[in-house]
Amino acid sequence: MSSVAPTVYLSTLRRGVGRAEASTGAAWSVEVVAGDADIVCLAAGHDGRTVFAGTQDSGVVRSIDSGRTFSASGLEGRCVKAIAVSPSSPERIYAGVKPAALFRSDDGGKTWEELAGFRRIRRFFWFSPAEKPFSPYVQAIALSAAKPETVVVGIEAGAVVRSADAGQTWQGHRRGAMRDCHSLAAAADGRFYEAGYGGGAFSGDGGVSWSRPRGLDRRYGWAVAADPGGSAWYISSSRGVEAHSNHADAAIWRCRASGSWERLARGLPQPLNWMPYALIAGSEPGRLVAGLANGELWETLDQGDSWAALPVKLPRIERSLIRLGSSGG
């Protein structure tokens, strides 16, 4: 029997989780799991099988069988909008909630502590029109692998903030970052990346200061990913809230060291009317998977110069998509 773990993709739906699995050389199987749960965000653990998920009304849930089943894992009754596992410590997990607050677990989700310092930087003008009640919430969390104590958090909508001590104390909105943050990514070299209303921004100094490359004609940024080789990063964007429709007129963009955006289109559907809600960088340089709202997965092996559809379709990708198991497929 092959020792290579099967590739598993998990996506958030309007209810439940879409799950697609394929072992090496095998056809894909697709199913809906946790159909009674309103799961809104996903994060993979270190072992390739554990998954942490945030729900709209039931706190954190966890799977230890590659997303087949989920059980409660704390913060019951809370709306958990963002979740992240520390790249240096498999037991440390951060959960961002609505109204905007941040919790940390240091024992794999058994117990949680609210990070009181985060509340002290909350401002009266933080406000989200995305859903009732219109209170702001933590939309994205990125953790540095280079400096494990560095945490960057994005608010929908209000700020991008930073902690250098694992969340005990916080610096307010980072100049140059977009206040309406939709997603964050961290690279192995300590860089951070953001997609949000305004396009994309990056930080080369661990989240302290941020810059925005030029060249976008669609500035409603949504997903972001960084190439593991450090030579490129990517965002998806649309012209506005039509991103959340079946006529998104979206695009995927690449930014290299030149500092300007290049639109990536070769092989992708044109027009791109289903929003790329998720971008997943591979473990090897050049590879990126884009997950479209309609459940299609598209892959590039050459930093986006060309794309091909993967032979699998999830029921939908509402916001979050993760990959478990092998890096292939």
pLDDT band at 132 (very low <50, low <70, confident <90, very high): confident
Q: Do the Cβ atoms of 17 and 55 come closer than 8 Å?
A: no
**pLDDT above 50: residue 1:** no
Whether the ω angle into residue 6 lies within 30 degrees of 0, i.e. cis, is no
| pLDDT tens column, 58-94 | 999 999 999 999 999 999 999 999 999 999 999 999 9
Cα–Cα distance between 212 and 200 in angstroms, integer?
6
| pLDDT tens column, 244-292 | 999 999 999 999 976 899 999 999 999 999 999 999 998 889 999 999 9
276's tokens: 């790329």
What pLDDT score was predicted for residue 188?
Answer: 87
Whether the ω angle into residue 276 lies within 30 degrees of 0, i.e. cis, is no
Over residues 204-230, the mean pLDDT reads: 94
**pLDDT above 60: residue 2:** no
What pLDDT score was predicted for residue 3?
Answer: 55
36 or 140, greater pLDDT: 140
φ and ψ at residue 247, rounded to 5 degrees: -135, 55
- Report the mean per-residue pLDDT for the chain: 93
- 39-78 per-residue burial string, b: 16 or more CB within 10 A, e: under 16: bbbbbbbeeebbbbbbbbebbbbbbeebbbebeebbbeeb
Please tell me whether the overall predicted TM-score, pTM, comes out greater than 0.85 for this model. yes
286's tokens: 């050049």
